[in-house]
Structure 1
């Protein structure tokens, strides 16, 4: 609007165009002069500015030589009018300070915010390579393996941020730098929190953020780890197809498409994309944040599985099952009316109107820009004046579920148990983690989802010898085990009939909840000798183990428990997804295999000699 206000009506369209060209050329020369004025200066008697490398909406970036440390750094100079907004500069300084504890090769280190002759600037590590946006423009579409490796590198950096309680907030191609070796580095993490301290910064950065802005953020929600995942989904789609998932001429229209249009498929554009990878992209781009990966760690796990499968020539798979088809998000009528671009007037109406001195295209542009400014101003006022109070999520990890509920509800937050997970160290009904994590800022009334411990998956098998069957069954039920109904008998004149003589698994061995304990009871019948003979027979038992849910090699150990007791039958080191087949001799018609990764019990499998070998993997 500021630029179009200079174009007063004039009888000569040519004369108006000449003046317009002169104004634009003059402003371009002024901006070029401002950029070049910094080059050659020494900021704070320390940073020798040598080269311009980027010109964004808020910052202008340079390569500088640090005379103290003897290294090259990146200097980001605050552009007008933001350099004259002390509250905004202070907010940026707080964001930079909060990044101090995050040290990861995939996250740019911002060192400090300093000032030289009234001009504030950010000092950060210099990232070698080029921006992801430039790399995509030159090289896309990428091969599936390169695209996945790039996304893995991005997610590794995001995981480090999320673990530190920091939301990046603007995961887009301009904020990702890629080295010559293909390693990605996230830039300007968390700076979205500072934009609320400026009355104009939010509107200025909107066009750059719009291509990867999650639907819930466009509708007023706070950025979250889940919205960061959405940005990775947009990038991965672009890497694989050389197209963005949604297209529009203006940021507002693009945001509406992210909210309402169906999620496109990468395979419809690039059929070489594996089905599993397409499913990962679809989940990352889910409209509903609860159907998305909640943090970058979940997305990273699936991408690593696909990367490893591609590396070893296997069919890519992921840890999740295919998600149900989701319906497009419906936009509330009031919001739709507020954000809908003005409809184009009928062409005849324009033709019959009086001749104008200003060109028609310019009038239309002025009308649209005016509407856009009004919309952005109204949106800013609504978001900042009517939004609920922001609350810092308290730390409730290691509290009992009841204590966590009381603490969160006392701060006007809602609580929902997202899931229960088995844990070998944390007692049952104790909070393991929360989403959003402790320290994150949310609005009052928002829901905090908790992951709660279900206790250990394993229990110690009690000693059942000398007990009756009813007593043993009752004891096993109390600890999550059960009695195998296939009771063996053994003649014993010294014990009361029905008294338990032996058991498998043996006493004090760790067993997974739900395991059936097989017992042998005393009998005074001579027919029991056949049963005893059966228990002394030797059989071959086979188990096939696929090493899943691990990221590096582990020491695999397998113990076998039978009527003779427990012994180790296999021990060797193996890599993720490797298939190991083990055949061992056992005594009696049933044997239980206990599987250990690095001496940690992960699973138990009971085999029966009467069952045929189906080739099933464990």
Structure 2
């Protein structure tokens, strides 16, 4: 029975964009489908995660983050990730479609590969891993199942970041190790930690398998294999395959060292050694054959794009080879015969490719520099230090610098800057961010305004608005407080407002009777002096004052008041002339005594009594301090009564 026909996704439109045509492969974590991107009209491979993973929120969050990181990789030997999304219960990746086979399929058919051919597969794999390592990505699950051999001879690495996303799931919290046990480095087994050197270890195991046809460790259970990875030293290929080139023994031994510090720092370093080994291997007679590929198998992997331009993968044009046991010895040369034009062309092409391999190997062997990665900036300083050392730098931490955007403890910049080529072992200085710089508002209380401005400038701050406020405790002209308050942290260059004491404000006692004016001024801390003046309408009231009302002054200041002439008894002007008081036929009212009442209540009481009210603010404390005419006087209805508060 064709399982494709029963797959519910086949024939469906995924996420409104990908029309699923058929199922390519199914594995432990995902199913891969051939699909058409109807928006861009291109064939893609869609990897749909199994529902057990898609239902885990931690996996989905990590999966999305890793997909974004992998999508930024642009390398001819990396399967490109186009898109990521969810459609109901389906969490998926859209990738380039690579028609071909996996390296596992080839090993299953052929058993093992000759030395040069094994290196010609590993070199593009290491180039892909090296590009990822330079971008700060670690594959974590390097194995033949994740290496694709396209029909056109290209080599592609797939599933970057998927293992890291799996680590976020509930499975890891139940003790399940993430990765494939036969290729898992000792540090992954013991602590779950993985970095670029873990990928190097797995690549070394894969090279061993390509050369010998088997993995170095076998056991009845996965844990027994894991135990040997931790406690045993990986044997060299010649131990299983006598006559295997010593160069490849050395390459495998370096890559699979149990101590990560003894391995190449990343895949790029191992790539240089692999290219150098390929260059030094004896030449085989005739063209170097490629790994034969056939129709796609139903194994988990997948995926690729249209043929890419020529690259340095060192994979030659496809040539069919027998699928029986392989020997590293040159095949016997058949008797010479007349060559057709097509054979001459193939021979010339083979010669050109051999020369290209040699030149490429020489170029790789000359590349002894390392590049300062841009991925260090923004990372925690401890993590960045570890990664830089893995890449071959001698790391020093410079003095931290303040920055408004980069969090404290993260790398702000490097010296030399990212992209700079350097010799292995060169010094790399990491400058960490000290976080945003903040300055405490200095204590300028009690200073004059010029003194406060000068003190603020010493701390790179600026005086902002200056506001005056009356005070009977702080001397006039001195700073009472700041906004923000003293001690608060602010950015350099911030404005700090100053509130300066205006001292005492001179009360307004104009028009007030002498006794009441005297009481108000003395109560406010002033010393009144009175001078009488004649020709005033109302006797014994203030007709002038110095300092003027609301003037800034100090406590204890002398206030000179000019009074209208005081009489022994006060009378309304009409009473002295025998006239009738103004009003409608002698309609009079008695003014209530509203002294020391709340001025609002006093105003309402006076209005209720039938007089009009004029308010005069003097100290502004809300209580009536004086009134004229005084309470108890009989006055015509509508007479104006002035009250001071």
Question: Shorter-chain TM-score: what band?
Answer: 0.3 to 0.5
Q: Which has the higher helix share?
A: 1
TM-score by length of 1: 0.47
| Higher relative contact order (CA closer than 8 Å, sequence separation 6+) | 2
- Determine which structure has more spread, i.e. the larger CA radius of gyration: 2
